[in-house]
Amino acid sequence: MQPEWSFYDPVAQTYRRLAVPNVFAPHAGRLVELLAPAQRSRVLDVGAGTGAAALAAQQAAGPTGLVIALDASQGMLIEARGAGLHHLVQGVVPGLPFPDAGFDVVISCFVLSHCASCEASLADMVRVLGPGGKLGVACWDAEPDEPSRVWTETADRFTDKQTLQAALRQALPWEDLLAEPSNLEALLRQAGLAGVRVEGSVHTAAVTVADFVAMRALSFQGRFLQQSPAAWEEFRETVTAGLHSRFGEPLHYTRKAWLATGTASTLRQERARGHCRSQRRQPRGG
């Protein structure tokens, strides 16, 4: 069961206002460029959040296309509707509520690290792709920039480091593995995709220290720390002062992502669909 601090509903508005334009949208937009949805395309954005990738895909697919944004968080989907998306579905992966071969393009930005099983999630995404359909996945690189390093080093003084790391591993079980591009490439090939390519995407945003702290507060690390309000307030004041002293205003915040794309092939898709069907037939314990 997910811990309450990891739910996205309470942070959806701030996420859309700050994190999307400064962190997520540039990488999502680049991934959509690589996938190049054609006019009239049927596109699924898995784990759409407030719709950064889906909005870019909607523009590419045009008025005759269909873009569906799927997310587990109702709060995120409400923000996505406010951003201009109309076809919204609350759901998770694996377990996509769509038939086989229903989409020309499937996008998943910074979602796989949250999933209980990368393999099952990718197989389900491949299952809903039509022959020759394209899948695009974005994952974060592990190397932090200097402001993020200051944040983490300060956080380590305000909580038990081992407890925090254990909580983050529970919430993001695949984060470390997916930060390595060769692992990401291998997973997409294993899922039945051909022509797999992985490229880096780097974006730097100039933000105020207050906005940087507000964005990092949205992270799982930040939300874990906020479970203790008194310690959080002391941490927030300390890290804000440290960032001001070290970097001044504005602060330049850099995030690197890995963007992986591949194309579905009929034979490999049948194997992926067989895997999904066998998973659904597995008896549940308890």
- Measured in residues, the chain has a length of 286
Contacts 24+ apart (CB under 8 A), 231-235: 231/158, 231/159, 234/158, 235/154, 235/155, 235/158
pLDDT tens digits, 247-267:
999 999 999 999 999 999 865
Measuring CA to CA, how many Å separate 170 from each of 19, 52, 221?
A: 23, 26, 12
Q: If pLDDT is split at 50, 70 and 90, which confidence band does 284 have?
A: very low
pLDDT tens digits, 77-128:
999 999 999 999 999 999 999 999 999 999 999 999 999 999 999 999 999 9
Q: Which helix (H) or strand (E) holds 263?
A: strand 251-264
φ, ψ of residue 136 to 5 degrees: the values are -130, 135
Bond preceding residue 94 cis, omega within 30 of 0: yes
The reported pLDDT for the residue numbered 257 is 98
pLDDT tens digits, 168-201:
898 999 999 999 999 999 999 999 999 999 999 9
Average pLDDT, the chain: 92
pTM of the model: 0.91
The percentage of residues in the chain with a pLDDT greater than 90, rounded to a whole number, is: 84
Give, to the nearest 10 degrees, the angle between helix 229-247 and helix 209-217: 140
Task: Considering only residues 161 and 216, tell me which one the structure prediction assigns the higher pLDDT.
Answer: 216
Q: Are 253 and 207 in contact (CB under 8 A)?
A: yes
Domain at 4-143+174-203+256-281: CATH code: 3.40.50.150
Bond preceding residue 250 cis, omega within 30 of 0: yes
Provide the token pair at 82. Answer: 């406010």
Residue found by looking up tokens 């695009």 in the block:
136
Task: Considering only residues 285 and 15, tell me which one the structure prediction assigns the higher pLDDT.
Answer: 15
Q: Are 171 and 222 in contact (CB under 8 A)?
A: no
